[in-house]
């Protein structure tokens, strides 16, 4: 079984540890920036996932696809507490009926992973630019 799929921007963990306790407003601004980057991926994953399954004519199936897509969420962790800084885009819902044991794989295959792959470079550049701007604004 393959390991978790993640993106790691080198230096963020060290930057957050260095700034922790120096300026909490800067850390909160960094958390918001990382949340916004994750939201871009989340919104694209929703669009990709619903587009893939919109040809299903069944109302029940359409409702299931819509419910799954709208419950993709972004979480940012490790900035204000912890040591590993990360932004996670994933499914908030837990298993519902058990009728589609492959449904999580389908969400990853047709929504979350393609969106992540498409936005990985753009997100890294934007994150780097935003962190630099935040540091300059706060006198670093």
User: What is the average per-residue pLDDT within 32-39?
Assistant: 89
pLDDT bucket at 7, cuts 50 / 70 / 90: low
Give me the pLDDT at residue 16, please.
79
Any domain includes 4: no
For residue 85, give the nearest of 34, 140, 139 by alpha carbon. Answer: 34
Give me the pLDDT at residue 48, please.
93
User: What is the average per-residue pLDDT within 37-61?
Assistant: 85
Any domain includes 140: no
User: What is the average per-residue pLDDT within 13-39?
Assistant: 81
What mean pLDDT is reported for the chain?
81
Is the pLDDT at 10 greater than 80? The verdict is no
Domain count, the chain: 1
User: What is the average per-residue pLDDT within 26-41?
Assistant: 87
Tens of pLDDT, residues 111-133: 999 999 999 888 888 888 887 88
To the nearest 10°, report the CA torsion of 63, 66, 67, 68.
120
Any domain includes 6: no
Any domain includes 55: yes
CA distances from 128 to 2, 102, 122, 140 (A): 29, 36, 10, 15
Tens of pLDDT, residues 64-102: 888 889 999 998 887 777 767 788 888 888 776 777 788
Domain extent for 59: 12-134
CB–CB of 82/27 below 8 Å? no
Give me the pLDDT at residue 2, please.
45
Any domain includes 88: yes
Any domain includes 50: yes
The residue ranking higher by pLDDT, 105 or 134, is 105
């Amino acid at each position: 079984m393959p390991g978790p799929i993640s993106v790691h921007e080198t230096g963020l963990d060290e930057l957050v540890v260095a700034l922790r306790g120096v300026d909490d407003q800067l850390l909160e601004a960094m958390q918001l920036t990382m949340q916004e980057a994750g939201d871009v991926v989340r919104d694209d994953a929703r669009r990709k996932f619903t587009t893939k399954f919109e040809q299903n004519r069944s109302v029940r199936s359409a409702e299931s696809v819509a419910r799954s897509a709208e419950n993709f969420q972004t979480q940012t962790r490790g900035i204000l507490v912890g040591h590993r800084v990360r932004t996670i885009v994933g499914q908030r819902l837990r298993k519902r009926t058990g009728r589609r044991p492959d449904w999580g794989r389908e969400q990853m295959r047709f929504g979350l992973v393609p969106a992540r792959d498409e936005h990985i470079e753009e997100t890294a550049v934007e994150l780097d630019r935003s962190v630099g701007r935040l540091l300059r604004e706060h006198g670093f």
